[in-house]
Amino acid sequence: MTKNDSRPTIGVIGAGSWGTALAWLLAGNGYGVHLWSFEPETADQIKRERENKTFLPGVLLPESVQPTTDLREVLDQKRMLVLAVPSHFFRGILKQIQPFLSSVRPECLWVSATKGIENETLLTMSGVLKEILDPDHHPYVGCLSGPTFAKEVSRELPTAVSLAAVEEETARKAQHFFSNAFFRVYTNNDLLGVELGGALKNVMALAAGISDGLGLGHNSRAALITRGLAEICRLGEKKGAQRPTFFGLAGIGDLVLTCTGELSRNRTVGFRLGKGESLSTILSTMTMVAEGVKTTMAANQLARREGIEMPIVSKVYAILYENSDPRSAVKDLMKRDLRAEG
């Protein structure tokens, strides 16, 4: 395969802001892309106007991005498939894909761009992929994660991310599809760690947003980020991830961005909670998914199952699902038994 071939050789499943930005990025790298949208109106709008006005307004999509609502079409003979759908839809979309797997190339790369944990099984997205896909596809599974806002990527602002896969060759091949002068991709063999870092940072972003909404200042936010990282490391290591991963792009990098960036959906939800709005009101006004809301439930279950102390996760869970008062939750965190840092 060569670049500058308008025939779709890559499929992107999910036409939200991130899926659209990745389709735009890959097309800019010279590849033809089929972009699958669940909403027919989104696909029609892209065909007519070359713009996804709902999820990524202001970004012109080239003709080499071909929108579709046909999963068979988006899978057929692709060299790489990128999955960028919300985590709670991930398994359902894969089950819809199953009947068409015979049309997928045996060596096709399967790259998850979804940051979440499945609530029912507590699996990361690569775990869900491996449950649905035939074992022959498992060596080609990876994930893309790191500190990224779709809007900034589409403005060609310098960005660095991690491409993780157990198989080095899989990571290396996917790395070359995505990389260009403003989008730098590093490979990583800690697939689980990269996925957990990308998922759990959204819970900490909710906490940081709550703190900011309460007006608790920069000291509090810095403490939440730091102690949040400690919680992520504890759970990640217990699950078998590599500690250095959490001090890289998919760990502290993504954590800092999502906890401090004005474009962060999860921080925004937390901020509004801190200001006194109800979760149901906040979610009813959002067109895009804040993954941290559902990930909080999964993270809380994982912590209990693994016997890991995650007080920030526990308090965010209480605020979201047990109607706990945000200010009282912060006071409870500060009154915990004194101990050594670690």
Q: Cα separations (Å) of 228 from 127, 141, 246, 251, 282?
A: 24, 28, 11, 11, 24
DSSP one-letter string for 10-55: EEEE--SHHHHHHHHHHHHTTEEEEEE-SSHHHHHHHHHHS-BTTT
Residue 140 to residue 163: CA distance in whole angstroms: 12
Residue type, 184: R
Provide the β-strand partners of residue 161: 185
Q: How is residue 61 annotated by DSSP?
A: P
SS3 56: strand
Q: Which residue has the tokens 């007006």?
A: 215
Q: How is residue 314 annotated by DSSP?
A: H
Is residue 201 part of the annotated active site? The answer reads yes
Which residues make Cβ contacts (< 8 Å) with residue 129, sequence separation at least 6?
83, 94, 110, 112, 137, 141
Helix axes 311-321, 191-213, angle to 10 degrees: 60
Question: Among the options 78, 115, 173, 201, which is catalytic?
Answer: 201
Q: Which residue has the tokens 């991709």?
A: 185
Q: Cα separations (Å) of 176 from 90, 132, 141, 169?
A: 25, 26, 15, 11
Contact 237, 261 (CB under 8 A): no
Contact 78, 105 (CB under 8 A): yes
Contact 163, 187 (CB under 8 A): yes
**Which positions are catalytic?**
201
